[in-house]
Structure 1
Amino acid sequence: MTRTLITGGLVVTAAEEIHADVLVEGGRIAALAAPGTQQWTAEHVIDATHKYVIPGGVDAHTHMEMPFGGTFAADSFESGTRAAAWGGTTTIIDFAIQSPGQSLRAGLDAWHAKADGKCAIDYGFHMIMADVNESSLKEMDQLVGEGVTSFKLFTAYPGVFFSDDGQILRAMQRASGNGGTVMMHAENDLAIDVLVQQALERGETDPRYHGEVRKALLEAEATHRVIKLAQVAGAPLYVVHVSAREALAEITRARNEGLPVFGETCPQYLFLSTDNLAEPDFEGAKYVCSTPLRPKDHQEALWRGLRTNDLQVVSTDHCPFCFSGQKELGRGDFSKIPNGLPGVENRMDLLHQAVVDGHITRRRWIEIACAAPARMFGLYGKKGTIAPGADADVVIYDPTAQQTLSAATHHMAVDYSAYEGRNITGRVETVLSRGEVVLDRGEFTGRAGHGAYLARGISQYLR
């Protein structure tokens, strides 16, 4: 049984920061000890002096190979998970999609066929419900028992994923009984569609109008509505990709009332803004996503929400479409631009930059990027921490290294970077996934198929 010893580093978890040696054996953390106090022997020794030793990141919101608007997200499970590893993420939870008229099981099986044997890191699935009916509600119970414990519904995308209030309530009622968690994309898209049509009739076709019609108040209204539906159902609620301070205020109010309501935001809402959507020569199309980017003055509210724990998780909503041939489908009509941004490789570095900039602490960085998503989706103890018995998903992180984010150097299968030219302090140096070195001092040593499928428990916030 191969042993790896990581010496000399500062171990940073959500709970503590300690100088410790870390012993890895059989793919798991075997022990931690004060430096030099144990005479451990190991086949592989990693010197982490002057570096952080942190848990591998858990990205709880990705869309590899997702179909959208007649095209597909540019990253396969193989390329996307390889890029994730480059960025210090060792677990993703992607979204299997139920096609209208089909079963949840058929959707889950289709996503297993895409991912199994191809992932470079460990992976699990949420389930997108396109149909809420008696059959799919029964399937929810079965899937929870098999480790698919979260279900995403939409108040957006009429004709594709949209569920009405009655359907949402029924799914929430089912989740309240089976231990599952309902995840909501909360925007009032029936109203947004009216604004889209009116904008196009006025000749307002550029990418910046995507942000203008998807109004913050309509995100807040839908967030308020799904919170109240969850309250009626007696169910927990996880609101994905919160972008607007008004929507965050609804979540904060619910949490102050003691409701089991949780929120996620994404790096694009913390670091990008409507200024990017307004970039000339159709460049703004690169930044079209839903919920949309907001004016810069929303960012401080989101950072504050992360500090106060009204937002618990930062995920990427990684859904990359190339500018050439994909984003360009919306030239002349912003509503036809595929919605999504690349970012699975950048999240850990951007959040470390937030530590450098004083927005969050080191431990909060690990909390929102590793521990909280693992707890939220039934993986903590196995993922999200460095402790005896946990999977040896470990990142050696150089907090002083300088890098410039660029499409020229990233490993995502997309032809642009949403953070092109941004200077970052901090860089992933070495990554272990279940004890196997998949990134060795800047050289990828992993392989497709190393990643294991994760059957998840219920949310550990609800136990």
Structure 2
Amino acid sequence: MKKVIKNGTIVTATDTYQADILIENGKICMIGSQIEVDGAEEIDATGNYVFPGGIDPHTHLEMPFGGTVSRDDFETGTIAAAFGGTTTVIDFCLTNKGEPIANAIQTWHDKSKDKAVIDYSFHLMIGEINENVLNELPTVIEEEGITSFKVFMAYKNVLQADDETLFRTLVTAKELGALVMVHAENGDVIDYLTKKALAEGHTDPVYHALTRPPEVEGEATGRAAQLTGLANSQLYVVHVSCAEAVEKITEARNKGIDVWGETCPQYLALDISDLEKPDFEGAKYVWSPPLREKHHQEALWSALKNGQLQTLGSDQCSFDFKGQKDLGKGNFTKIPNGGPTIEDRVSILFSEGVNKDRITLNQFVDIMSTRNAKLFGLFPLKGTIAVGSDADIVIFDPHVERVISAETHHMAVDYNAFEGMEITGEPITVMSRGEFVIKNKQFVGKLGSGKYLKRAKYGELKNVVTES
């Protein structure tokens, strides 16, 4: 059935204007004034913004970690994402050393099959580089459409890769047309500081942050950027949390190195004091990189404003406080790393960013959607409102005031990291390829309706014409 969105204010990364949108066969087929189509369903967006659907470039759904598994899977995670105004997620596919990459990718396809209610894709973790891996990567790109590789510089003896692996991944990515992503923390130094803290009897959650100081993130970010320049490759630094990392990204970009930076809502709105909450409540806020002193927040907002950071990911990786986070009582290293953030990413960026004049409305759209589409091979199929693009659309009420709470969120986890936070703005209706997922704040989507997306190579466009 054809649909017409009427009377809304359309906002893209570059324009803000009033117009109607005609949707047919999952695509935007017309944008204009006073569109009238017999038999079309009319959706009144009076007083609301009409945004392109959010793209979350950083999720960990049903991810194993420290002997447990993150609570939100591709069903609950994508439903919560949709409630929050996100219509595409890119999840991290973890690999095992010595095993074919194809096995890991199949595991992620199995996890997501018949569950997702919005579209999704995968990044691929690179934990080792050898002839077997190098032989598989062209197939990963050409057949699976996975055009981004993740390297961990932290989690020693678990996920951490050495500098040779990182450098060879950068060289290979340049040859194949992929974007390399890094978790930039110096894992060796963290390992030393962690052992020292435990030996001295420091076991509380706050020591998770104190053993991962900003310097180890800044050092690793700078090292990764320098290696990117040496390889003449391209780099995306995930979950930037501190001024030290921003400084290294800015320095590299000023030298002409192709480096991009992502931050997350938790670093914009929370700080290290949350880790100090009594009765082990601080464990709720254990993720990596850790929360920082409050002054780092303005450095991150400034970087989003001036373009030295370009995107916002959620780093969604939810663990229950009871039964999972409390595995670390008496030893902060046993606390599963991660938090529930997928549902509140878009609204926090709007409320704390646009409403407080830290970023413009068009920057908001670019940061939460458009830039991610461009960097990860989905634009202009996704990430904008244009004729020929997928009708991934969010109707957003910019005036409603609400309080974030676990009592009202849709994630499958027993707490909310932003509990009690007062914000302004909320998605009202969310469409994925022209079909309602959220309608008037109610879930009306279908499990398995989300499609797996094969993405274009780095720097290339994704054809907006539907493949036959």
Question: Scaled by the length of structure 1, what TM-score is found?
Answer: 0.98
Alpha-carbon offset, residue 42 of structure 1:
4.2
Q: 1:186 to 1:461 in 2, by over 3 A?
A: farther
Asked if residue 433 in structure 1 is aligned to residue 432 in structure 2, the reply is yes
Conserved? CA contact 2:238–2:261, under 8 Å: yes
Which AA in structure 2 matches 1:398? D
Deviations 1:19-61 (A, max 9, x none): 0001000001011102x2x333343110000000111100000
Where 1:77 maps in the other structure, the secondary structure is: coil
Q: 1:461 to 1:212 in 2, by over 3 A?
A: farther
Conserved? CA contact 2:377–2:461, under 8 Å: no
Distance 2:323 2:278 in 1: 18
Instruction: Give the match for residue 416 of structure 1.
Output: 415
Asked if residue 189 in structure 1 is aligned to residue 187 in structure 2, the reply is yes
Distance 2:306 2:139 in 1: 36
Where 2:14 maps in the other structure, the secondary structure is: coil
Instruction: Give the match for residue 259 of structure 1.
Output: 257
Distance 1:65 1:74 in 2: 6
Which AA in structure 2 matches 1:312? Q
Q: 1:335 to 1:74 in 2, by over 3 A?
A: same
Asked if residue 112 in structure 1 is aligned to residue 112 in structure 2, the reply is no
Asked if residue 309 in structure 1 is aligned to residue 307 in structure 2, the reply is yes
Distance 2:336 2:219 in 1: 24
Instruction: Give the match for residue 358 of structure 1.
Output: 357
Which AA in structure 2 matches 1:429? I
Conserved? CA contact 1:380–1:460, under 8 Å: no
Match of 2:75 among 75, 78, 92: 78
Distance 1:84 1:338 in 2: 22
Aligned-pair identity in percent equals 48
Match of 1:342 among 340, 354, 359: 340
Asked if residue 122 in structure 1 is aligned to residue 102 in structure 2, the reply is no
Instruction: Give the match for residue 240 of structure 2.
Output: 242
Instruction: Give the match for residue 66 of structure 2.
Output: 69
Where 1:248 maps in the other structure, the secondary structure is: helix
Instruction: Give the match for residue 453 of structure 2.
Output: 454
Alpha-carbon offset, residue 131 of structure 1:
2.3
Deviates more, 1:4-13 or 1:98-107: 98-107
Instruction: Give the match for residue 132 of structure 1.
Output: 129
Instruction: Give the match for residue 276 of structure 1.
Output: 274
Alpha-carbon offset, residue 171 of structure 1:
1.1
Which AA in structure 2 matches 1:436? E
Instruction: Give the match for residue 465 of structure 2.
Output: none
Q: What is the count of residue pairs matched by the alignment?
A: 460
Instruction: Give the match for residue 369 of structure 2.
Output: 370
Alpha-carbon offset, residue 229 of structure 1:
1.2
Alpha-carbon offset, residue 153 of structure 1:
0.5
Distance 1:202 1:26 in 2: 63
Where 2:220 maps in the other structure, the secondary structure is: helix
Where 2:228 maps in the other structure, the secondary structure is: helix
Deviations 1:167-214 (A, max 9, x none): 111111111101011100010011111100111111111001111110
Conserved? CA contact 2:47–2:397, under 8 Å: yes
After superposition, the CA RMSD in angstroms is 1.2
Instruction: Give the match for residue 222 of structure 1.
Output: 220
Which AA in structure 1 matches 2:110? A
Conserved? CA contact 1:378–1:456, under 8 Å: yes
Distance 2:153 2:416 in 1: 29
Conserved? CA contact 2:405–2:419, under 8 Å: yes
Where 2:47 maps in the other structure, the secondary structure is: coil
Deviations 1:321-362 (A, max 9, x none): 010010001100111110001111001110110211111111
Distance 2:391 2:278 in 1: 46
Alpha-carbon offset, residue 166 of structure 1:
0.9
Q: 1:27 to 1:121 in 2, by over 3 A?
A: same
Distance 2:158 2:425 in 1: 40
Unaligned runs of 5+ in 1: none
Question: Scaled by the length of structure 2, what TM-score is found?
Answer: 0.97
Instruction: Give the match for residue 163 of structure 1.
Output: 161
Unaligned runs of 5+ in 2: 463-468
Conserved? CA contact 2:380–2:461, under 8 Å: no
Match of 2:200 among 199, 202, 226: 202
Instruction: Give the match for residue 43 of structure 1.
Output: 40
Match of 1:144 among 131, 141, 145: 141
Distance 1:279 1:462 in 2: 47
Where 1:406 maps in the other structure, the secondary structure is: coil
Distance 1:452 1:42 in 2: 28
Which AA in structure 2 matches 1:187? E
Deviates more, 1:39-48 or 1:267-276: 39-48
Conserved? CA contact 2:378–2:461, under 8 Å: no
Which AA in structure 2 matches 1:75? D
Conserved? CA contact 1:55–1:366, under 8 Å: yes
Conserved? CA contact 1:90–1:393, under 8 Å: yes
Distance 1:459 1:87 in 2: 27
Distance 2:426 2:189 in 1: 43
Distance 2:138 2:252 in 1: 27
Distance 1:161 1:344 in 2: 23
Which AA in structure 2 matches 1:244? C
Instruction: Give the match for residue 173 of structure 1.
Output: 171
Alpha-carbon offset, residue 460 of structure 1:
3.0
Deviations 1:154-173 (A, max 9, x none): 11112221111111111111
Instruction: Give the match for residue 396 of structure 1.
Output: 395
Which AA in structure 2 matches 1:99? N
Distance 2:40 2:388 in 1: 20
